[in-house]
Structure 1
Amino acid sequence: MYSLLNEMLLNLRQRNGWTQEELSELSGVSVRTIRNLETGKVSHPRRASLRLLSSVLDPEGRQAFLMKQLTHAGLAAPWNGTKSPQNALVGRDEDLRFLSGVIRERRLVVLVGPGGVGKTRLAMALAESATDGPVNGVSVIDLGSLPAEGDEPRQSYERVSAAVTKERLHPSHLVVLDNAEHLAPSVTRLSRRLLSDHPGLRLIITSRLRLAMDAACTWEVTPLRTDSSCARGGLPPAVELVLQRTRTSYPGLADTMDPAQVQRLCQLLDGIPRYLEIAAERLRSVSLEDLLALLENDAKLEVLRSVDGSLLPHQRDIVRSVEWSLALLDPALRSFLSRLASISGEFSLQDIERFPSSASSAPPAPFPPLDIVQMLAQLADHSLVQVVRGDVYRYRVLSCVRSVVLSAAEHAIPVDA
């Protein structure tokens, strides 16, 4: 079936005068695998095996060319579902470096973080990196369009299970379950079953809500840094993202923008990549100065609406994105978040009791300290409160979340409407 691969490997081996057994000893690839590759019995060879063979068969530096030919011949790990966009991943080098090692050693990685922070983009990059190692096939399954768990957990589980089991899972397959927060119990249950039934399977799950899975490596995907102290002589990652996206769409425009103003733009948008990308798109028709003025006047809810038809409805603007997360909270947590939203900037546990509810100027009903800790933990698990860890822990509500919550309270609109 793959004559190019058959001929290439066979010719290279014979050119070196090696038997299959000798090539196996030199490369670390089994004789059976070499035989199956040369005869075309393997339909989707592992890229790790191809790299090992290439390093022996092409020791003079043409390995990259050989791998390119194999990839062009359709021999890369099969990929089903959404693929990464072609633009570069910005500000996630350390995350990707660490997680690439984790996915080789462990079978379950959960990426958690607020809406728009880049969980899906990082998951795609991580899946791509895994195809160079232990993975021989990738399936990306977007759960965002499925109904929320609600009061029918059995039907919810069956829907999630059907979305996954329709994929042909090969040994050493990697499955990405994207946008899982509204289906957390079903996804948790199904993940445990998949890992048990398929010993070679690996899972990457993205969710705004932390999942209760002890076996998982749970990684917090945080907003891109906006402060100059992290730039190490260059630009903060958030600023770099805006300039890069602007430069890609409108060559020359990025060179005319003041980096300090771009940095202010990034700070107003919390360093959330999706909002930064929408802002970069807005610069096509609105000057940076005018856009900053709108955002300074808290018009971000109206200004930042994406026209990207590939996004789910709740991903296209700030209001619907935040409301999607708020809908997963019970009334007590929504009320508590409303109080926290009245606090601008970072705050401590002790600060919370000093602020009234945003919906009323009356003195707030006291929260017992234990309740405060528990509710803070739950809101942090939902990625609606950011934990600033240090010698003293502090907390903050992202400004975009604050804007939606305070607007809902001001207009007496239920935050999950």
Structure 2
Amino acid sequence: MSQRDDRSASFGRYQIFPELRVLLRDGEKVDLGQRAFDVLWMLVEANGAVVSKDALMATVWGGAIVEENNLQAQMSAIRKALGTDRDMISTEFGKGYALSLVRQEHAVAPPDFPHPVTSLVGRAGELDEIQRLVTERRFVTLTGPGGIGKTRLAIEAGHQLRGRFADGVYMAEMAKIAESDLVPAAIENCMQLSRAQLRNKRLLLIIDNCEHLAGPIAGQVEALLNNAPAMHILVTAQEPLDAAGEHVYRLAPLSVPPADTQSAEAALVHAAVRLFVERVSASIHQFVLDDALARDVSAICRQLDGMPLALELAAARVPVLGIAGVLAGLNDRFKLLTAGRRTALPRQRTLRATVDWSHNLLDDEERRLFRSLSVFASGFTADAARHVGAPEHAEAWDTIDVLSSLAAKSLLQPELGGPVPRYRFLETIRVYALEKLADSGEVEATAQRHAAFFAQLARQASDDWRLSYQADIDDIRAALDWAFSSDGDEQTGIDILTHSAPFWNQLSLHGECQRWLTLVLNGEGPAIAPGQEMALQASYGTSLAWARGPVDETVKAWTRALDLAHQLSDLETQLQAHYGLWLYKLRCERYAESLAHANQLADLAAGAADQEAFVVGQRLAGVSQLFMGQQDESLRQIEASLRWYEQGRSTQVSRFGMDQYAAALTYFARVLWFQGREAEALDAAAAAAERARAIDHACSLCCALAEGWCLVHALNGDEEAVEQAAATLVRTAAKHGLGLWESYGDTFERWVEARRSGDHKGAAAILQRLIHSGAPPGLNS
């Protein structure tokens, strides 16, 4: 029968494994040559008895004739390795050598299980799930990026599970083990039980920080589980071990507050905030999170991705820098977050050391893709990763394999909830990867591929922009930032803007679109082809209309777009230009001219058998006639358009920048009110707002609130309803850069203020202006 490879003996503070040829001192490996090791093992086996020189030379040198000085050299090597313990080897002159301390089989008592001095925050659900899994399954691996709290959760689970494992809970720490041949010894040291003793034991073994020795540990886990049927094992690692019987639990970051969090009560709902506050309070006894601090604390937690280690390091800086100082310092987070505990593992004392540990485990191909993917500002698909980060890959599966490896190592977060799997970095890891990209000298080439990819994406996109590409908003912005930078390619930026009008329209990001287009059309960039200029002018006119209202640039953009559309025989742009010019004339109170554009739009649509556009023309004509005092004709036109929409016909939000069904309901409410049908008017206004909310389109919602809901409720004298809707209107418009609608919201808030202050004359004047004008007071002044 072969010897067990984990057989060992202890003497003093040493443990020796003859089959593994490993000598440990206080758990650390001691380097010793092969013959010196064999000599030492013979002395250990003698258990204090003298071993003759002849016996040593015969056994260690296999019967070969050697000089005695060879043995003396090995004894010198042993004494040198033992250092201050060299006197443990005694020389019996004329006889041989002896080990002065009698060996002890597993004499060291098993170490006590860790007892953390801080509380576990925000992991109640995860703790319950881990306990259930460990009880039901014999082998569970808890994975997640460095600093996410795997060790702390495993320790807490161990304490909670002690009552279910009669023979105890043990923990083997692998972070300080650097060589694979030390793994068996480290595990045995933890439990102080032989495999024979383990066979009938019901115990839980936690093996912590295993990612750097995944293969050897996987082998040991399989052997232990095969040998001890009542044993359960919980592993923590940044990636699964891929061993037989493994069940993986991926630990997510702590929950963080949304960007609009304003109150302490709302912030403290989230575990990341609770952890941060608790750790700050440990250093500043009087610290209390109030509403004044809630926004900044929430921002800190979001920027640190809810990562417990990063939050604790940030909290340690608060006594010196304050909350605002810590938030500002996150722009250079790897220098800021260096205040770890002196007793922590070296790789957990600074944020950089934690990510360095993970990065050092990657091979060269993984490192190349890891740093290249940092150019993505948000999530990305495997296809995007291949084109931008790995153009050298001939097959898509080559990229998918590396992505899968990075995700398994917890450096990428897979998102599987959408129609296509996506991946993203936690922000802290992305910042680190960006630094590596900068160090590599590959920034310009990678940014160019990134911008080119999104230019191609824009060219092939259609009306499903929002459905398919909303998640790419930050990367489209990043591509434009690069394209129009000093090192960029303006033509690539122009290509993106030319084809991305549906993107800005569907997301109601008209203010942002207007800023980009101002840069392109009013700058000194490359010459723009007529077809591209036509598309850009149309997008510019749309964005100006909602971002700034009826300014001179708006009519110039639409007039130029219409001229180019005639030259190029582009019917769609002609339709859009007449819509834009109708809106401009309406806001300028030139209602007869606006009606003319509405009729031209309808005529063009009729000639092209474009029923959707024809119905839009009807609706626009009805609105113009409303402001011209032609209420009956207005009602007829708007009702005709509504009948078409009520048949369930499709309407493209991106085509004219607004949901036309919601807009028709909005103005229908106004007409109904003026004809004395107040209840129906209120119902129509409510239906318009509900429709806009249902499709989640900000510009349509603003129209429904400003032109419909707020107006008819103001006419009804309902200050509370107007106040609530005006606040929503202002907030929504400001968020999306819709200056026109924000001015409406401000106007209705002034109406409420005037009514409540007793200024009924002023309130009436505001209301009369809103009733009879196509623009709020002051817009055209």
**TM-score normalised to the size of structure 2?**
0.39
- Paired residue for 1:168? 192
- Paired residue for 2:289? 255
- Partner residue of 1:83 out of 90, 108, 114: 114
- Partner residue of 1:126 out of 136, 153, 157: 157
- Write the letter of the residue equivalent to 2:429: V
> What's the CA shift for 1:234?
5.0
- Partner residue of 2:229 out of 199, 218, 223: 199
Q: Deviations over 1:111-153 (max 9, x none)?
A: 11100000000100111111122343122111101115xxxxx
Q: Deviations over 1:291-327 (max 9, x none)?
A: 11111x2x10111013312222122212221121111
**C-alpha contact (below 8 Å) 1:81/1:141 kept by paired residues:** no
Relative to structure 1, is the Cα distance of residues 236 and 219 closer, same or farther in structure 2, using a 3 angstrom cutoff?
A: same
> What's the CA shift for 1:82?
5.1
Q: Deviations over 1:8-52 (max 9, x none)?
A: xxxxxxxxxxxxxxxxxxxxxxxxxxxxxxxxxxxxxxxxxxxxx
Q: Deviations over 1:180-223 (max 9, x none)?
A: 00000010000011111222222111101221024122100111
The separation in 2 between residues aligned to 1:239 and 1:345, in whole angstroms, is 23
- Paired residue for 1:405? 433
CA RMSD of aligned residues (A): 2.5
Relative to structure 1, is the Cα distance of residues 100 and 79 closer, same or farther in structure 2, using a 3 angstrom cutoff?
A: farther
**C-alpha contact (below 8 Å) 2:386/2:399 kept by paired residues:** no
**C-alpha contact (below 8 Å) 1:223/1:272 kept by paired residues:** yes
- Partner residue of 1:265 out of 277, 300, 306: 300
- Paired residue for 2:362? 329
Matched position secondary structure for 1:203: strand
Aligned positions of 1:15-414 closer than 5 A: 80-81=111-112, 83-147=114-178, 156=180, 158-166=181-189, 167-169=191-193, 171-228=201-258, 235-256=269-290, 258-295=293-330, 297=331, 299-353=332-386, 355=388, 364-365=391-392, 368-392=395-419, 393-412=421-440
Matched position secondary structure for 2:163: coil
**TM-score normalised to the size of structure 1?**
0.72
Relative to structure 1, is the Cα distance of residues 133 and 211 closer, same or farther in structure 2, using a 3 angstrom cutoff?
A: same
Would you say how many aligned residue pairs link Structure 1 and Structure 2?
321
- Paired residue for 1:65? none
Q: Deviations over 1:261-289 (max 9, x none)?
A: 11110111111101101111111111111
> What's the CA shift for 1:353?
4.2
Relative to structure 1, is the Cα distance of residues 287 and 331 closer, same or farther in structure 2, using a 3 angstrom cutoff?
A: same
**C-alpha contact (below 8 Å) 2:144/2:238 kept by paired residues:** yes
> What's the CA shift for 1:175?
1.3
**C-alpha contact (below 8 Å) 1:353/1:367 kept by paired residues:** no
The separation in 2 between residues aligned to 1:367 and 1:252, in whole angstroms, is 60
The separation in 2 between residues aligned to 1:131 and 1:185, in whole angstroms, is 28
Relative to structure 1, is the Cα distance of residues 144 and 186 closer, same or farther in structure 2, using a 3 angstrom cutoff?
A: same
- Paired residue for 2:642? none
**C-alpha contact (below 8 Å) 1:387/1:396 kept by paired residues:** yes
The separation in 1 between residues aligned to 2:127 and 2:318, in whole angstroms, is 29
> What's the CA shift for 1:386?
0.6
**C-alpha contact (below 8 Å) 2:257/2:267 kept by paired residues:** no
The separation in 2 between residues aligned to 1:200 and 1:127, in whole angstroms, is 16
**C-alpha contact (below 8 Å) 2:165/2:204 kept by paired residues:** no
> What's the CA shift for 1:179?
0.6
- Paired residue for 2:481? none
Relative to structure 1, is the Cα distance of residues 135 and 277 closer, same or farther in structure 2, using a 3 angstrom cutoff?
A: farther
Matched position secondary structure for 1:411: helix
**C-alpha contact (below 8 Å) 1:246/1:253 kept by paired residues:** yes
Identity among equivalent positions (%) equals: 28
> What's the CA shift for 1:405?
2.2
Structure 1 unpaired stretches of 5+: 1-77, 149-155, 358-363
> What's the CA shift for 1:335?
0.6
Matched position secondary structure for 1:212: coil
The separation in 1 between residues aligned to 2:274 and 2:125, in whole angstroms, is 16
Matched position secondary structure for 1:131: helix
* Greater relative CO (CA pairs within 8 A, separation 6+): 1
**C-alpha contact (below 8 Å) 2:371/2:436 kept by paired residues:** no
Matched position secondary structure for 2:423: strand
Relative to structure 1, is the Cα distance of residues 356 and 382 closer, same or farther in structure 2, using a 3 angstrom cutoff?
A: closer
More helix by share: 2
**C-alpha contact (below 8 Å) 2:267/2:273 kept by paired residues:** no
The separation in 2 between residues aligned to 1:325 and 1:234, in whole angstroms, is 31
The separation in 2 between residues aligned to 1:214 and 1:135, in whole angstroms, is 25
**C-alpha contact (below 8 Å) 2:337/2:350 kept by paired residues:** yes
Q: Deviations over 1:222-250 (max 9, x none)?
A: 11111359999952111111012222332
